[in-house]
Amino acid sequence: MTIAAKPEGYLESPVERLLTAKCVSGDQNAWGALHRQYFPIAVAFLRRLGVKPADLEDASQEVFLQVFRYLSRFREEAEFRTWLFQLCITQARRTRRSYYVRAVLDRVLARSSGEVFVSGLGFSEDAAFQRVEAALSRLSDAERAVFVLYEMQGVSGKEIARIVGAKEATVWRRLHYARRSFRGALGFEEEDDGA
């Protein structure tokens, strides 16, 4: 996996660099510390990328298997967190693809119950979460990654460009379309911008 170069003026965290170096050298305590620090970040990001709760543990573990396998090749030309986000995006895409395959198999094998679940417009946290998840699921993979990184993870546009391997202008365009689709999926009227 190719990692973009660090931005000019980037100050690498000496603690992060030391931790990853200790992991590469085989220090089990360092692996535990790395896992404790970054596993919750990976789980939250995967959830926001559309990985279902039943699959979160497996998807997160798969991300950390990739970290374990490839950390020695990580050239530290970017932050570890940037690389972790890239791994999460790839894993979320794989997991969502498996949902599609399962749904097709269910239809082909006629195992689908045919029931449709529609949540009400209540104000419960669960109902709100379901509406947000449904709105996120309508975004393309590229738009969803940019939207989640910017709006939900607070990552800068420049860092998102490095994570997704696109120009920063492309990131902002994807974010614009993602916001529009997201608002539409939640039932908010689009403001007429004169276009």
Among residues 84, 95, 99, the alpha carbon closest in space to that of 162 is found at: 84
Q: Which CATH number fits domain 12-112: 3.30.700.30, 3.40.50.970, 1.10.3720.10, 1.10.1740.10?
A: 1.10.1740.10
pTM value surpassing 0.95: no
Among residues 10, 144, 140, 26, the alpha carbon closest in space to that of 88 is found at: 144
Q: What does the pLDDT read at residue 122?
A: 46
Q: Does domain 121-187 fall into CATH 1.10.10.10? A: yes
Q: What does the pLDDT read at residue 156?
A: 86
- For residue 76, which amino acid is it? E
CA atoms within 13 A on the CB side of 41: 18
Q: What does the pLDDT read at residue 45?
A: 94
Cβ atoms of 127 and 109 closer than 8 Å: no
Q: What does the pLDDT read at residue 95?
A: 84
What residue spans define the domains of the chain? Answer: 12-112, 121-187
- For residue 92, which amino acid is it? A
Cβ atoms of 174 and 141 closer than 8 Å: no
Q: What does the pLDDT read at residue 27?
A: 87
Q: Give pLDDT tens digits along the chain (195 positions).
A: 444 444 343 334 677 788 888 888 888 998 999 999 999 999 999 999 989 898 899 899 999 999 998 888 877 677 888 899 999 999 998 887 776 656 654 554 443 344 344 444 445 666 777 778 888 889 999 999 999 888 888 788 889 999 999 999 999 999 999 988 988 887 775 544 443
